[in-house]
Amino acid sequence: MNEPIELLQFRYSPYNEKIRWALDYKGIAHTRRNLAPGPHVPVTRKLTGQTATPVLKIGGRAIAGSARIIGELEALKPSPALYPADATLKTRALAIEKRFDDDLMPRIRRAILMTIVHDGHYVSKVFGGGFLYGLLFPLVRGLVKKGNGITGPESAADGERAAQEAFDWVANETTATGYLAGSSFSVADLAVASHLATCVDPPHVDMQRPQPAPQKMNDWLARWRAHPGAAWVMRMYAKHRPQPLAT
C-alpha cells in the first residue's frame, strides 16, 4: 500500500468512527483531516458530488460512504477480515450494518444533536471547529438541524425510541456468542458499537466528548449507562478497538 490514505472526517461522528476503527483494526497508516459541519459542504461536494462524511482519499480516488469505504478497505487489506467468511453470516453482518447506518443511527443522532445544538461553543469543541466556528454557529445552526432531519421535539422523542430499540436488540442478540454475526468480531459489531458509542462515551480518544458537557448531554448518557447493551459496547471497545494509527 504505497498510495497515501487520507480520511476527511468530522472529529466526533459514528460514521467516521467506523472508518477510523476499520483503518486502525487493519493496521493501515493514514492521515486525518478534520472538517466542521456546514463549512465542510464545498469540500466533500467537490471531491465526491455529495455532502456527507466520511470521505476516504486513496491516492487519486475519493470514496464516500462508510459502508462502501469498509468494502474498499476489505479489498485493500483482507486480513484481519471484517467480513465473515461464511456467506450467510456475511449477509447478516451487512444487513445489520445497513439497518444501523440507514435507520437507527440517523434517528438517534437527532436526539443527541438536540442535547447540544443550543450551545455553539460546545458544538465547536465536539467537532473541532475552533472558537470562531463556535461564535458563528448560530448562523449555521438551522443548516445543521435541517441536514439531520431535526423538525422539532418529536425528533428527539423518536431518537430516544430508536436508542431504546437498538440497546435492547443488541443485548438480546449478543447473549449466545457475545457477537452479532457468528462467534467472532465483524463489521456488524464494529458498526453497531461505533454508532452506540454516541450514547455510551467509551474511554477511547477518538470517541470521548469534551468536558464539561451540557447537562442535557450528561442526562442522555446517564439514561443508558446501566443498560446491558451499553456494557457490550464497552467490551467491544476494550477488546477490539486499537489506538489510533493516524499521523
- Tell me what pLDDT residue 134 has: 81
What does CATH list as the number for 87-240? Answer: 1.20.1050
User: What type of residue is 8?
Assistant: L
Question: Around 15, how many Cα atoms within 13 Å sit in the side-chain half-sphere?
Answer: 24
Q: How is the chain split into domains, by residue range?
A: 5-76, 87-240
Those residues with Cβ within 8 angstroms of residue 13's Cβ, 6 or more apart along the chain or in another chain: 53, 54
Phi, psi of 9 (to 5 degrees): -145, 160
Grouping H, G, I as helix, E, B as strand and the rest as coil, residue 61 is strand
Averages of pLDDT over runs of 10 residues in the chain (247 residues) are 90 96 97 90 95 94 97 97 98 98 96 89 85 80 78 88 98 98 98 98 93 94 97 98 84
**Three cell numbers, residue 26:** 487493519
pTM of the model: 0.93
CATH superfamily of 5-76: Glutaredoxin (3.40.30.10)
- Tell me what pLDDT residue 1 has: 63
C-alpha span between 107 and 15 (Å, rounded): 14
- Tell me what pLDDT residue 232 has: 98
- Tell me what pLDDT residue 247 has: 65
Looking up cell 438551522, which residue turns up? 142
| Total residue count of the chain as it appears in this document | 247
